[in-house]
A and B are shown apart, each in its own frame.
Chain A
């Protein structure tokens, strides 16, 4: 008996040790890229050119951030576009999705299976990129149009199904008694379904907002050089990172010669500024995302 107990605790200690080691290493591996970007953005241009990027800046400097504040117009504009698109897209997307989810969750609605399938089918079959692209540009005139940044990711079938399962968890008797009192569907939706689904709305809303905040794909497809004013944050960052001349051009417009632009740390400072809000908000919002992942995993 004594031996058995010893074995067991030894076992547990070993397991905990290995777990801590493995999880610790993986966590550090996840943090290093973030750390390197921040460290790089706080380095002097010359020391990067001489010694490369490193975990601790060889020469600490705020030059990159100072320069960002000298030429803030484009960055602020991109921020503005992203905030506008995120707010409008999330609000509209949440309203449209939750209305449809309300109807599909309603057990009295005779055609709910057929309509659910109508939505669901789009996630297993599509016409491919090219017809979609041609239709959007030629017939919907998405070219250089801010609607191109909103409409394509407005309704997501997975989120529709998540909200539907949230709404189905509301006791049916609540709906029934409201109907008996003579309430219409809109009243029941606004007064009962929405308030009781706050957690679900928060979760899905955050996922939609994240998609808008991180979107660069639609900007790449539908916006060209001529409509730089419409570039959302991520696509603006993409341009700065991939086109060497983009940053110098931005500086030149403010009368700053290219030679004075600390190119390397500035690329990373831009990255920090573009990612900052997500990383800062993340600790507070994480639990909603965890909930969303859990529900999505159990059943779509």
Chain B
């Protein structure tokens, strides 16, 4: 009866239960992602609340000009990219190191406890991490300054110290993410064929040789791929971390402001819709291109791991 129709309509009828089961998830995605995507035009408009996204007058590239001339474009892009690269390198190094150590460690109990403890920070909210930062670095009462005063050193005022923040942010990022990545790499180390290690043992290989010539080469594809995919998101800062850890402290914005915090702050305080959506489009446009490039490379190196 439907044979004469388009195959899609035919399938829509034949598999109607399946299509209906997709509807709720599709509606959420359409509402939360696809319709706002159409709002990209806002970047080219002079927004006013009354006329809405589509009714407001066109502004050409004015919003982009404003964003790039403000000096914020370069500053936030630089911060976002540099922080992400440093986080990526340091966290990956720590994750792989911890995973290798955990995989070879003899003491079962020690292994379980350390793995659990290092994974724990992943589960707490960034608000709580913000409380940790306050607790540690508050100028008057902070535990770090209590310690410094205790050993007779000068207390430090991190809230006006620009050099302190890159260090703090790197440590916080490691604190929150190393456990997660360790679990991930541990899984790929456990998957390595045990016979290789046995053969190496028979040949009298040392621990270091086994790590150097078996473990590392075996997890290399995973590392390379995760690294490449992370490059694709290098323009997306971890908004919640930057917002909560630095507390939007205006004194150190030069070294802590990333694109996401800048956009959110401008949106909430200045209600600067046109320019912020231009900044947002700049970010997601370049991110999209980077993901495509990264995926293209992954496809060449290791087709099984490609995203699409």
Contact = CB atoms under 8 A, between A and B. Distances in A.
B25 A52 contact: no
Contacts of A235: 127
* Interface residue range, chain B: 35 or more
Nearest to A130: B277
A120 B288 contact: no
Nearest to B171: A29
With a 10 A CB-CB cut-off, give which of B226, B244, B283 has the most chain A CB atoms: B244
B307 to A, nearest CB: 7
A52 B94 CA distance: 32
A267 B134 contact: yes
Contacts of B131: 37, 237, 241, 267-268, 271
Contacts of B245: none
A110 B18 CA distance: 11
Contacts of A4: 204
B247 to A, nearest CB: 7
B292 to A, nearest CB: 8
Contact of B26 (A14, A19, A118, A282): A118
A30 B94 CA distance: 14
A135 B284 contact: no
A122 B33 contact: yes
A151 B28 contact: yes
Contact of B143 (A19, A36, A283, A299): A36
B129 to A, nearest CB: 8
Interface stretch (A92-100, A197-205, A247-255): A92-100
Contacts of B116: 282-283, 286
Contacts of A267: 131, 134
Contact of A37 (B110, B135, B147): B135
Given A160-B25, A237-B128, A185 B102 contact: no
Given A27-B114, A132-B36, A151-B31, A293 B184 contact: yes
A23 B114 contact: yes
Given A216-B127, A293-B183, A293-B187, A37 B132 contact: yes
Chain B at the A interface: mostly helix, strand, loop or mixed?
helix
Interface in A253-300: 264, 267-268, 271, 274-275, 278-279, 282-283, 286, 289-290, 293-294, 296-300
Given A155-B28, A297-B187, 19 more contacts: A14-B207, A22-B97, A49-B140, A52-B141, A53-B136, A96-B28, A109-B18, A126-B284, A128-B40, A130-B280, A132-B36, A133-B267, A135-B53, A185-B17, A214-B126, A216-B126, A274-B127, A294-B183, A298-B187
Interface of A: 4, 7-8, 11-12, 14-16, 18-20, 22-24, 26-27, 29-31, 33-34, 36-37, 40, 48-49, 51-55, 95-97, 99-100, 102-104, 106, 109-111, 115, 117-120, 122, 124-136, 138, 140, 151-152, 154-155, 157, 160, 184-186, 189, 210, 213-217, 220-221, 234-235, 237-238, 241-242, 264, 267-268, 271, 274-275, 278-279, 282-283, 286, 289-290, 293-294, 296-300
Interface of B: 7-8, 11, 15, 17-19, 21-22, 24-26, 28-29, 31-40, 42, 47, 49, 52-53, 94, 97-98, 101-102, 104-107, 110, 113-114, 116-121, 123-128, 130-132, 134-136, 138, 140-143, 145-147, 149, 175, 178-180, 183-184, 187-188, 204, 206-208, 222, 226, 232, 239-240, 244, 247, 260, 263-264, 267-268, 273, 276-277, 279-281, 283-284, 287-288, 291, 304-305, 307-308
